[in-house]
Amino acid sequence: MIKSKSQRAGDWVVAFLCSLLILVCLLPLVNILVRSLSSPEALIRNRVWLWPVGLNFNAYTAVLSDSRYTWSLVWTAMMTGLGTVISLIMTSLCAYPLIYPNLKGKKIINAFIILTMYFSAGTIPTYLLIKDLGLLNNPLVLVLPYCLSVFNMIIMRSFFYGIPESLRESAEIDGAGPIRVLASIYLPLSTPVIATLALFYAVGRWNGYSDALMFISSKFRQYWPIQLLLYQIINSAQGIDATQMDSAPGLADTIKAATVMFATIPILCVYPWLQKYFIAGVTLGAEKG
Amino acid sequence: MNTTARAPAVQVRPKSSGGMTYMRRYWTLYLLLALPLAYFFIFKYLPIANILVAFKQYNITKTVWQMQWAKNNGWEFFIKAFSNRDFRYAVRNTIMLNMLDLVAGFPAPILLALLLNELPYRKFKRVTQTVAYMPHFLSWIIISQLALQLFAPTNGLVNMALRGAGFNTIPFLNESWHWVATYVFLGIWQSVGWNTIIYLAAITGINPELYEAASVDGAGRFRKIFHVTLPGLKPTIVVLLILSLGRILGSDFDRPYALTNKIVNDVSNVIATFVYTSGIKSMQFSLATAVGLFQSVVCVIFLVAANTIAERMGERGLM
């Protein structure tokens, strides 16, 4: 189709607005990257704009030599991995039986699950339960209480519905039980939705801090995920260790910036590759949810 | 199992050949469901009993059932909550911040989806989308740190630029009403790209013949947006609007808690943060439970009401 001049001008306006959007989205991250690479003195003298001034990697080496940060990064990665695996197992265990059309009691089971989307007992009742279960200050509290999301279960179930029933039926005629069918037919065919949900769960765990804030006291700070550690360091009066403070006041800012980069980069490296899948996942969830 | 396998192909499978065969065949399904159902029971249903704490004198040594009822027929802590200045502020702030989020944040993804839909360059569109989804993957702690450094009064990039252009320094995060504006802006920044996904999917569902017909009739870009795209988006918009209205008294914890600071507490304290500080930090469990219960009851009422209105308007509801 041939476009008129005004149409083409319109296209350019649209492209310009989109570029502006990209700029606004990236600016805060570019800013923090530049600050993490600049020298503390330049930062204090207001000389850092969009390019590192006094380029150095001291902030990064400082973070990597501070055992609190490195441990917290390792710990958060471990909890994220463990939590994601448990969540994926729970989600498939929950979604798969519900696609059987003749599962007895399906209506009641469904209602039992879906109802939890509409109400929640609340923060304090949940806190008191966690306390009674003895999970306070227990690392498992970062994994168990939110390990299964109904919304994600619905996404997975919708995907399972899309797998032809005849595949299941012929496998059953060959004598395969439901568990075999799940393991050897459904899960291998579901890599797109598994990847999407793995991303959702992993991002949720990597970024989460409120559960750790509520359920793990500062005495057990070795169990704190990186986000909570970062929050406490930003908001505590003394901030960075005195040993690091005395070298230069601006160093605190560059170290915070470097920590932000460490806590952000893993996710930024992963999500673009899964774009196709999570778009499909969100759309599926919105239609069925 | 064997009966089905041996049956001739024409014969319809026996509908229900008694409970025994059914259980023999499908008991594993219940086995699979056992863990998830146990999860929902323990973490979602068991705590419901603890709601009673709102009507009782919390006592750490007793179970919920043994605790003494609160005064005023059990309503003591609700009365206390409403006579608490911090709580009234928290209710006001929750409604205010949610309203602002709704007014400013709700149309934003619709506009962006329309904009992206008009972008003719495919690769550029994909890149824009990828970048626009990025903030959704950042935690509020990270965003709060990004904002603190970007908007810092002396050496933050934005204020350096403002001063360079001859303006005054703006206290983006250090003055109540500026903080509110920054809060709303950061909310849009974080979610606008992600929220376009649903709208973009809805746009692809619009019949392309409608656009062709509009072109034949001589409709330009804006006419097509107003007469084809927006009407096509209407059901999605209504459903999402209902959901947002239902959440008008709901409150997020991560976002206000991560962004707040001591100076702006009187506009940043919302119900969720109030529950945390009064309940978990100061151990006033009864009061905090009462507040939480009040919030969830109001939320359900709002959701049901918004849903009913939408159904009256002739749109597909949610429930």
What mean pLDDT comes out for the span A44-53? 86
Q: Determine contact: A93 vs chain B, CB below 8 A.
A: yes
Q: Could you give the domains of chain A?
A: 61-288 (1.10.3720.10)
Q: Across-strand partners of B56?
A: B69
For residue B21, give the amino acid letter.
T
Domain boundaries, chain B: 2-55, 82-312
pLDDT at B284 over 90: yes
Q: Determine contact: A74 vs chain B, CB below 8 A.
A: no
CB contact under 8 A, B33 and A272: no
Give B19's pLDDT tier (boundaries 50, 70, 90).
Answer: low
Mean pLDDT across chain B: 88
- In this prediction the pTM is 0.90
Of the two residues B315 and A262, the one the predictor is more confident about is A262
Helices (H), chain B: 2-6, 18-40, 76-82, 85-100, 107-118, 122-133, 140-150, 157-164, 176-204, 208-216, 221-224, 230-246, 254-259, 265-268, 271-275, 285-312
- Nearest by CB to B26, from A103, A126, A144: name it: A103
Give B2's pLDDT tier (boundaries 50, 70, 90).
Answer: very low
pLDDT at A285 over 90: no
Give A1's pLDDT tier (boundaries 50, 70, 90).
Answer: low
pLDDT at A70 over 80: yes
Contact criterion met (CB below 8 Å) for A253 and B156: no
Chain B nearest C-alpha distance from A211 (Å):
10
Of the two residues B302 and A207, the one the predictor is more confident about is A207
pLDDT in the model for residue A229? 92
Q: B209: which 2 tokens?
A: 């013949």
Query: Closest Cα partner for A42 from A25, A29, A58, A27?
Result: A58
Give B301's pLDDT tier (boundaries 50, 70, 90).
Answer: confident
So what's the architecture of B82-312 in CATH? Orthogonal Bundle (1.10)
pLDDT tens for each residue of A125-149: 999 999 999 999 999 999 999 999 9
pLDDT at B137 over 60: yes
Mean pLDDT across chain A: 88
- Interface predicted TM-score of the whole assembly (ipTM), two decimals: 0.91
Burial of B53 (C-beta count, 10 Å sphere; 0-12/13-18/19+): buried
The counts of H helices and E strands in chain A are: 16, 0
Give dist(CA A244, CA A241) in Å, integer. Answer: 5
Give A177's pLDDT tier (boundaries 50, 70, 90).
Answer: confident
Q: Determine contact: A2 vs chain B, CB below 8 A.
A: no
pLDDT in the model for residue A125? 96
Mutate to test the interface with B, among A14, A124, A128, A201 (most CBs of B within 10 A): A124
CB contact under 8 A, B157 and A49: yes
Q: Lowest mean pLDDT: which of A84-88, B23-27, B62-66?
A: B23-27
Of the two residues B100 and A238, the one the predictor is more confident about is B100
Contact criterion met (CB below 8 Å) for B141 and A231: yes
Give B209's pLDDT tier (boundaries 50, 70, 90).
Answer: very high
Q: Torsion-angle region of residue A131: left (phi > 0), alpha (psi -120 to 50) or beta?
A: alpha
What mean pLDDT comes out for the span A84-103? 94
